[in-house]
Structure 1
C-alpha cells in the first residue's frame, strides 16, 4: 500500500469514529437504547486509530531524520 492509500484509509476511519460519536451522543440525549454503546465504540475506535496513526508517523519521522543524517 502506498502512503496515500494509508492516509485515505485513516481519514475514513477517523470520519467513521466521529460519526459514531455524534450518533451516540444524539441517541444518549434522546434516551434511545444503545446510545452509550455507540458513543463508547466511537471513542474507542478514534483512540485506537489515533494511536496507530501516531505510531506510524513517529516511524516516518525517524526514517526521515536518519535520511537527513546520512546526507550530511
Structure 2
C-alpha cells in the first residue's frame, strides 16, 4: 500500500513538472516568435489542470477514507 502511494505521488509530480516545462518552453517560443509557441503553452496548461484535478480527486478520496477510519475507531 505504501509503495502504491509513493508511486502515485511520484507520477503526479513528474507529470506536473512536464506540464510546467511545456509552459515555460511555450512562453520562450512565443517571445522568440517561433511557430507553435501558443500550442505548446496551451498543452502545458491543460496537462497541468488535468493533473491537478486528478490529484485533488485522489486526495479527496484519501481524506474520506481516513475520516471513515477515524469514525470507526470512536
TM-score, reference length from structure 1 = 0.98
* Counterpart for residue 59 of structure 1: 61
| 2:46 matches 1:44 | yes
Paired residue total: 72
Equivalent position to 1:68, from 39, 64, 70: 70
Distance 2:31 2:52 in 1: 26
Give unmatched runs, 5+ long, in structure 1.
none
Task: After the TM superposition, list the runs of 4 or more consecutive aligned residues in structure 1 that deviate by more than 4 angstroms.
Answer: none
CA RMSD of aligned residues (A): 0.8
Q: For 1:29 and 1:44, locate their aligned partners in 2 and report how far apart those are by CA, in whole Å.
A: 20
CA distance, structure 1, for counterparts of residue 49 and residue 65 of structure 2 = 24
Structure 1 counterpart of 2:30, from 12, 28, 48 = 28
